[in-house]
């Protein structure tokens, strides 16, 4: 009998830079460890400006250079996601506050956690928004995501 997959939702503001990249990095790790069937992975944004769009071309190009595909389309998080997913993984303090605000009862708050809490090589409390910066910002985001996603997988597997 196979057990239920662990459901993980990565969340940022626009769902076109950080969270689709986190989704791609985590999926790439699952692929390499042959763990695809053990997880269901998705991403969403707290905002709705980019709904339906593919990830930002700069984020896709940076991920591509590391051999990681980012196929997801942006969507906005909805309150039902807090029950549908076992873990909601946020990129910055604002995402964390906005997602927690979707559940005023607080009953799901233990399952809403910052991705950077799983970093082992980097000391960071947030994955910074790269949208208005240069190319180096996208590389830095991927460095943080690779570190944190491997820590997250160690924790959840």
Q: Which residues bind ligand 4NP (CB under 6 A)?
A: 12-18, 49, 129, 131
Closest CB 11 distance from ligand 4NP, rounded Å: 9
CB of 155 to ligand 4NP, least distance (A): 23
Q: Is residue 12 annotated as part of the catalytic site, yes or no?
A: yes
18 catalytic per annotation: yes
Is 129 among the residues known to form the active site? yes
Residues 6+ apart with CB under 8 A from 91: 10, 11, 12, 13, 18, 19, 22, 114, 115, 126, 127, 129
Of 37 and 135, nearer to ligand 4NP (C-beta) is 135
Cα separation, 112 vs 19, whole angstroms: 14
Nearer to ligand 4NP, 36 or 136 (CB): 136
What sign does the dihedral 150-143-32-89 (CA atoms) show? positive
Residue 45: enclosing H or E segment and its boundaries?
strand 39-45
Least Å distance, CB 126 to ligand 4NP, is 11
**Positions marked catalytic:** 12, 18, 129
């Amino acid at each position: 009998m196979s057990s239920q997959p662990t459901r993980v939702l990565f969340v940022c503001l626009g769902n076109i830079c950080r969270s689709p990249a986190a989704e791609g990095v985590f999926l790439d790790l699952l692929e390499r460890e042959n763990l695809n069937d053990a997880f269901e992975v998705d991403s969403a944004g707290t905002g709705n400006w980019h709904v339906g769009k593919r990830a930002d071309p700069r984020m896709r190009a940076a991920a591509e250079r590391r051999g990681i595909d980012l196929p997801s389309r942006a969507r906005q998080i909805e309150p039902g996601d807090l029950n549908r997913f076992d873990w909601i993984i946020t990129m910055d303090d604002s995402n964390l506050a906005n997602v927690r605000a979707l559940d005023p009862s607080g009953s799901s708050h233990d399952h809403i956690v910052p991705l950077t809490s799983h970093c082992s090589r980097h000391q960071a409390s947030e994955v910074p928004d790269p949208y208005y910066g240069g190319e180096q910002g996208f590389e830095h985001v991927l460095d943080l995501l690779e570190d944190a996603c491997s820590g997250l997988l160690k924790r959840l597997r």
